[in-house]
Structure 1
Amino acid sequence: MDFLELAGKRILIFGVANRKSVAYQSGKVLEEAGAEVIYIVRSDTRKESLKNLLKQAPTYVCDVEHQQEIDQLHSEISQKYDTIHGLVHSIAFADYSAGWLPFHQTPRSAFLQAVDISCFSFIALSNAFSKLLDPEQGSVVTVSISTTRMAAENYGYMAPVKAALDSSVCFLSKSFSNFSKVRFNAVCPGLLKTSASAGIPGYVDSYLFAEKATLRKEAVQTKEVADTIAFLMSPRSSGITSQGIVIDAGMGTNYFDKEIVAEDT
């Protein structure tokens, strides 16, 4: 039974880096649901390294930091496919090479690059594929974070960047509503165990704390985020747009968990 009504739906997925990626896990769930998944990766080197993982799935290259590559990708996709039913944007980048710095010392170049790759690419890709997305049932989903109001020092300037991404979901929803019913949403997970997160200073300690703070005392799994993305791609979620779906296993309601409080008293 095709409960999610995803069989035969054609979905672009941006951002696979390896087996642990949200993008990869999402692709697997969507493929299991019968969708035709088209992967877009950052470079030819990345494409080669993922050849065994992605197997026979169609895979294209696009570095979203460069508009000409986005334009080229659109040209290649539109020549082969007449309709895209969904787009998953799982792209984020932050240059922490300067080490941990107080937020007010954030390097201008690092902040602007992070906004460009992590946020503006979502707008640019949506614009590029605006005429190819199914105007009746198209769905676009990006990956944000569970809250941008928690000032985690080690996450630094990426929280304001994700806040811009969250706002872009709303503005894209409104903008596209002038000519289509394409839906825009974000999945907003708590801390995940991914390769990308390993580059954040002090992430392991934050991850372990977040796990304690969940109601179930178990961290959010990447598969759980992928399952939510699949639902948002599905016509079954047709009434949901311009939203951020938080996936944090109750962490946001449990900061005063008695066990955590007892450890600090």
Structure 2
Amino acid sequence: MSESDQAAPPVADFLQLAGKTFLVLGVANRKSVAYSIAQMIEQAGGTVVYVVRSESRRESTGKLLKGRDVRVCDVEFQEQIDSLANQFEQEGLQFAGMVHSIAFADYPEGIRPFHETTKQQFLQAVDISAFSLVNLSNALRDRFTTDASVVTIGISTTRMASESYGYMAPIKAALESSLAFLTKSFSRFSQVRFNAVAAGLLKTSASAGIPGYVDSYLYAEQVIPRGEAVKTDEVAATAAFLLSPRSSGITAQSIVVDAGMAINYFDAAVVSAVTNSQFGS
């Protein structure tokens, strides 16, 4: 056995997350993408510091996150981000990675035509869903290890004008675009990487609250070649890989995890079903 073989980590520790600490934002319940990612980190021997948006959320996730380190920070408020960063600095915490699984959109009157989106709705959604990644990364930049990995959760396409997603696709596009600029600016003093998992339609509690989403999810299952929608664990596994040193050559990228939905919009059976329904057989 060569010296290099002896130095190689065992296959069981392929992700090399053991002994490292990660910050995970966005756990709301057991169905959350952030929760699945955190579980994979812990199963691989890593430690997770959780951040939820309110004291009530910390209480509601009390049983789910029992025994874990759970902090509170509503990213809409600068003082709370600053306070979180100060806490970590005082405790000397260093993070090998951060998971940003945060999104918010206000639909008080349901989904309306995109051109009727109000300035307040749009800017609030940009602030919470996209700018928060920039803001958190800046506030925590001294808390990241030199080669830390930051992963956010995007969507499989920001160019599909789906009514059921309202005005969030342009905001997710802003989130995706920021990855390149964060990677570039952080490269001045570190090797921190920024990537996204661009997920297809998922069955989560948050998505279920979007008007019309369930119908889109059911349609996706018909279009996806395997006939089954993307699972939360499939998105989480990709995120865990991006958090790991195994993905060290990947940065400023959005990795699409949609089970092939994008290649199959014109599936013959689906097209036939629509045309027969519309025009008669």
TM-score range, shorter chain: over 0.9
Cα distance in 2 for partners of 1:218, 1:79 equals 47
Question: What is the TM-score with the length of structure 1 in the denominator?
Answer: 0.98
In 1, are the aligned partners of 2:88 and 2:143 still within 8 Å (CA)?
A: no
Gaps of 5+ in 1: none
C-alpha deviations, 1:230-249, integer Å up to 9, x for none?
10010000000000000000
- Structure 1 segments, 4+ long, off by >4 Å, are none
The answer to whether structure 1 residue 140 and structure 2 residue 146 are counterparts is no
Aligned to 1:72: 83
In the aligned structure 1, how far is the partner of 2:24 from the partner of 2:173? 22
Identity level (%): 62
Structure 2: runs of 5+ lacking an equivalent: 1-11, 276-281
1:166 aligns with 2:170: no
SS at match of 1:232: helix
Partner of 1:196: 206
The count of residues paired between Structure 1 and Structure 2 equals 264
Which amino acid in 2 is paired with 1:146? S
What is residue 9 of structure 1 aligned with on the other side?
Answer: 20
Q: Does 1:235 align with 2:217?
A: no
Q: Secondary structure of the residue that 1:99 maps to in structure 2?
A: coil
Which residue matches 2:9? none
Shift of 1:81: 3.2
* Larger CA Rg, structure 1 vs 2: 2
RMSD of aligned Cα (Å): 0.8
Cα deviation 1:32-83 (Å, max 9, x = unaligned): 0111001000001100111110111100000000010000001112222341
Q: Deviations over 1:141-166 (max 9, x none)?
A: 00010000000012121000000000
**Structure 1: which amino acid aligns with 2:160?**
M
Q: Which residue pairs with 1:102 in the alignment?
A: 113
- Show CA shifts across 1:211-246 (max 9, x none): 111111100000111111110010000000000000
Which residue of the other structure, out of 193, 201, 209, is the alignment partner of 2:219? 209
Distance 1:78 1:95 in 2: 34
1:20 & 1:14 partners in 2: Cα distance? 14
Q: In structure 2, how many angstroms separate the alpha carbons of the residues matched to 1:87 and 1:226?
A: 13
The amino acid that maps onto 1:67 is: Q
Determine the C-alpha separation between the residues in 1 that align with 2:109 and 2:18: 46
| Cα distance between partner residues in 2 of 1:103 and 1:2 | 47
Provide the rounded CA distance (Å) in 1 between the counterparts of 2:140 and 2:54: 20
